[in-house]
Amino acid sequence: MFASLRLDRRAMVRLLLASGALAALRGRAALAEDAYAGPFVDAHAHLNWDAGVTIDALMALYDAAGVRSALLFGYPWQLSADAHDRFAGRIVPFLAEGYANALHPDSSYVHPDGLEQLLTAGVVHGLGEVICRHSAFQLGASGGYYAEPANSVPADHPELIRAYQTAGRFGVPVNIHQEWFFAEELERAFQAAADTTFVWAHAGHGPAETARAVLQRNPNVVADLSARTPWIGPGTVLLRPNGTLDPAWAAVLDEYADRFLVGLDLFAPAHYQMGYVSQLVAYYRGLLGQLDPGVADLIGHANAERIAAFRQA
């Protein structure tokens, strides 16, 4: 009785063409073939005490997925320092505080003497991710439904400005999370620490034109493209459903090729799985493969290596 429901191959092709599905499949196949194959640096990596993962496990995931090295945000900072000791040349250790702890009385950011000691000793080579203005969120299944409430720390708080300026004196970068609708406040921070290199996490999860304007006005700022994927939320995605790069973003990435980084932003315990990591790396390699090869190399690894000085790690 089901024979009448079968379609021959030509009929199926006609249906796919009519619906646009075949074009999408062909597009994805072509993107996979053209994916960026160069070195890949994860410029937004977390290692938290409660994530249930060791640095050895993380590096095994990186090795399997083709990730060469990482800027690692350790919470507490000893985790990233120890990771650097084990994998010098592949890990640049950053000093991170907990999600809501940037201005906590025990935060290293608000204790200038202790911060200077860590930087003088070369124990950490960067600050962040400094969590400032962050919307409440809940991840989907791929993130184990991990959730956090909103966080509302002013990016230009005087005590944080002092920490940024300290980082600048030591020539180390600061990765800062501030959503794009607070860009004006964020730019005040950038300008108050003009000698500091900032990495604007996730490009603020904002539109391409906002990223362009912020970069144009602030030469001490680069932006990472972490957490701009379908697994985080539809409003963050840089690729269209058929896998092609959004034209507005393609233009900004080309125009500011030396000002962008890629990152995986693994932080929820459920993230540290081979399936999830390989999907993320494939997503970003597909994105980079649609750019000029020289631009892809800069964003894929060279910009991160320049600002974080792996050669000194």
* Helix orientation angle between 208-217 and 183-192, rounded to the nearest 10 degrees: 20
Name 138's bridge partners. Answer: 147
Place of tokens 């701009």: 228
Query: Token pair of 150, please?
Result: 């909103």
If DSSP codes are grouped into helix, strand and coil, which group holds residue 59?
A: helix
Enter the pTM of the model. 0.89
If DSSP codes are grouped into helix, strand and coil, which group holds residue 69?
A: strand
User: Is the distance from CB of 238 to CB of 245 less than 8 angstroms?
Assistant: yes
**pLDDT in single tens digits along all 313 residues of the chain:** 323 333 333 343 333 333 333 333 334 444 567 999 999 999 999 999 999 999 999 999 999 999 999 999 999 999 999 999 999 999 999 999 999 999 999 999 999 999 999 999 999 999 999 999 999 999 999 999 999 999 999 999 999 999 999 999 999 999 999 999 999 999 999 999 999 999 999 999 999 999 999 999 999 999 999 999 999 877 789 999 899 999 999 999 999 999 999 999 999 999 999 999 999 999 999 999 999 999 999 999 999 999 997 644 4
Domain map (residue ranges) of the chain? 1-33, 39-312
Q: CATH number for the 39-312 domain, one of 3.20.20.140, 1.10.3470.10, 3.40.50.300, 1.10.3720.10?
A: 3.20.20.140
